[in-house]
Structures are given as structure tokens and as C-alpha cells.
Structure 1
Amino acid sequence: MTLCNMFRSFYRPVSSAAATTAGRTTRPASAPITARLSAVSVSVSGSIPNTLPTSSPTSSLLSSRPRPAAMSTLVRIQQDQANVAHYNTDGRAALFDKANKNRIRAGAIVQITSLTSMTKGKPVTFAGVVISVRHKGIDTSVTLRNYVLKTGVEQTYKVYSPMITAIKVLKPNASFNRNKLYFLRENPQLVKWGVVDELVKTEAHCSTPLNGYSYIYKTGVHAHVGVSVFEPPPRHMRHM
């Protein structure tokens, strides 16, 4: 053997597979996956059904129940109607019924008498221009605005509150065609606020309705045709 051949035998390169497995113990080959699955199926045979159930008892019960949202809405409407019928002892619901063409609208002058307390309360009267009417069943409310000592004052009343003893319409709306008159806060010159006090004084001094009034005692409604209370609003404010 020549020197060149000896050198090649000592420094023969080792393959990468042999280098990675060098110094490690070889593990015995595992059984095939099919054999392991068959062993598991044999050991648990009879405990797992062949087919899964299509529906569970819980899902069938949930499908037969009505939706909670729809059920709560129906209950709320029925309860609201019952409350309105209970507190509508004097027919005040007709004043705000949308089916009534003579109902109280925004722009009317209304006088409301209420108690400060249910036990020892005294009647307090406030009159003003209706700037909004909120129709919402038992939560129906009306907001009045007036000027007291050159200061704007607003009062919001719950229509069906037992603390309200009287609601009188001193003058219906005849100028505005909008459901909300919040723009009167920034434009008070559109209303002759002094006429509100004049109507209140006239109502207080007269035991019988004035000429031009038609009085309904049950609902406390005064329908008046008389002096114009409002300045004509701008053209862009006359539409709904």
C-alpha cells in the first residue's frame, strides 16, 4: 500500500447521516399506526357509539322557546297599557293621544297644576309654551318654557304622575308646524311671552270660560280662538 492510499483510508469523510447518529442509542422501530389504532378500538369496544347523536335535549328545548327579546317586549307593552289605564282616571290621556286631532302639540300654551308632595304638598301652578311632547306610554312627558324675571325657565312634567292635579290648554298651537321647539331657547323674540301671563291672569279671575273658549271639565281642556300669541316664525322654521 502506498503512502497516498494510507492517507486516504485515515481521512475518509463521514456522511451527514452517520455524523448525526453518532453517539446516540438507536430506538427500536415503533409499531405501525394502524396496529395501534386497532388495539385501542379493541380495548374500548362497546363504550363509544358508532354514530354521534344529531341533536341534544338542550338544543331541542332552546329551539322550542320564544326569543327572550320578543317575550320581554310583549310583556313591556302589556304592562305599559295596564299602567296607562290605571292612572288615566280623569281622561288626561286624550290630551296627548295621537289619534286626537285637538291634542296638545308643541307651541300651545298650557297651564299645569301639581303638588309638591303627596302627603302635605301644596298646589303649584306653572304656565308656559310647550316646546316638546314625548309620547312614550306611561312615561309620556311634556316640557313647558316661560320667562320669569327675564330668565328662561323650563319645567318637564310626567303626564300620568298622580301629583299632577290639572292640565289646562290656554291656547292651542296656531303658528308652528314642528314637533320640537328647542330653537326658542336661542330665539326668544319669536314668542310674545307677556301674553302667557295675561292668559293666566284672565283664567284666574274668571269663574266661567271667556267668550271664544269651549271648556271640557273632564279633561281640563280649554280650546281658545283669540289674539295671536306668537310672532310669525321664519320661513325655514315652518316646515316639520
Structure 2
Amino acid sequence: MNAQEIINSIEAEQLKTDLPVIHVGDTVKVGVVIQEGGKERVQPYEGTVIAMRNGGINETITVRRIFQGVGVERVFLIHSPRIASIKVLRRGKARRAKLYYLRERVGKATRLKQRFDRPI
């Protein structure tokens, strides 16, 4: 076996299998494991998926939400052990792969139409 095959076999063991089907435009709730002192707890982070990057173990989603009037974006490595759960709350209708144009929008202009042809 060459080096790339060894890397691929190790990565395959780390991939999560219980992930939902996520699309750009969906509203998701990501459960993130937070360490406080010696304790661990799961903190939910809810927002709209504005970008996805596929690449096996390096697959990421960028989730945007408005917190106290300020837009906050977080990039989640979805196969990371720090991600406890991902739940799709709403399917959004997006016509492009990256929704970076939502960064310039404020208030109700950031809403996406809901999509009903895909199951949640």
C-alpha cells in the first residue's frame, strides 16, 4: 500500500455516518461540545448554511446567524468529534452554491424562501 491509500483508510474510520443531508440555504442547529473548566456541555448554534466545502474528512459548512444585531459566521468541520449533532430545521431555496450576498443584507431581506420538495 502506498502512503495515500494508508491515509484514506485512516480517514475512512473517522468519517461520521449519522449526518443528515445538508444543502446550502438550510437552517440548521449544530450541537457544539464546549469545555468549561473540567466539564463538557453541548451548546446549540442555529443559523443558515451559506457555504459548503466538500472534501471527505475535511468537509465543512459555514453557518451564519444574527446575534444582537451583528452577523456571526462559524465554520464547522462536520466530521469533528467536537460536533455532537446536526439537525436540519428548515429547507431553504437557494439558486447558487455560496450565499455570501446575505452578508450585505439586513433584517427581513436575509430570509430565504422555504423549500418543500426535500424531506427534513
What is the aligned counterpart of 1:151 among 59, 70, 84?
Answer: 70
Q: Does 1:192 align with 2:111?
A: yes
Q: How far apart, CA to CA, are the structure 1 residues paired with 2:54 and 2:42?
A: 25
Q: How far apart, CA to CA, are the structure 2 residues paired with 1:120 and 1:149?
A: 27
Written as runs of structure 1 = structure 2, the 5 A alignment for 1:37-116 is: 75-76=3-4, 78-88=6-16, 90-92=17-19, 95=20, 103-116=21-34
Give the aligned residue type for 1:180.
K
Q: How far apart, CA to CA, are the structure 1 residues paired with 2:84 and 2:100?
A: 27
- Is the 2:50–2:100 Cα contact (8 Å) retained in structure 1? yes
- Percent of aligned pairs sharing the same letter: 27
* Higher RCO (C-alpha under 8 Å, 6+ residues apart): 2
RMSD, matched Cα: 2.7
Query: Compared with structure 1, are the counterparts of its residues 135 and 116 closer, same or farther at alpha carbon in structure 2 (3 Å cutoff)?
Result: same
- Is the 1:81–1:137 Cα contact (8 Å) retained in structure 2? no
What is the aligned counterpart of 2:49 among 123, 127, 130?
Answer: 130
Query: Compared with structure 1, are the counterparts of its residues 149 and 134 closer, same or farther at alpha carbon in structure 2 (3 Å cutoff)?
Result: same
Q: Does 1:163 align with 2:90?
A: no
- Is the 1:80–1:138 Cα contact (8 Å) retained in structure 2? no
- Is the 1:131–1:143 Cα contact (8 Å) retained in structure 2? yes
Larger radius of gyration: 1
The ranges of structure 1 where at least 4 consecutive aligned residues each deviate by more than 6 angstroms after the TM superposition are: none
Query: Compared with structure 1, are the counterparts of its residues 177 and 78 closer, same or farther at alpha carbon in structure 2 (3 Å cutoff)?
Result: farther
TM-score (norm 2): 0.79
TM-score (norm 1): 0.42
* Unmatched runs of 5 consecutive residues or more in structure 2: none
Deviation at 1:146, TM superposition (A): 0.6
Higher helix residue share: 1
Query: Compared with structure 1, are the counterparts of its residues 78 and 171 closer, same or farther at alpha carbon in structure 2 (3 Å cutoff)?
Result: farther
- Is the 2:24–2:51 Cα contact (8 Å) retained in structure 1? yes
Higher strand residue share: 2
Q: How far apart, CA to CA, are the structure 2 residues paired with 1:111 and 1:121?
A: 18
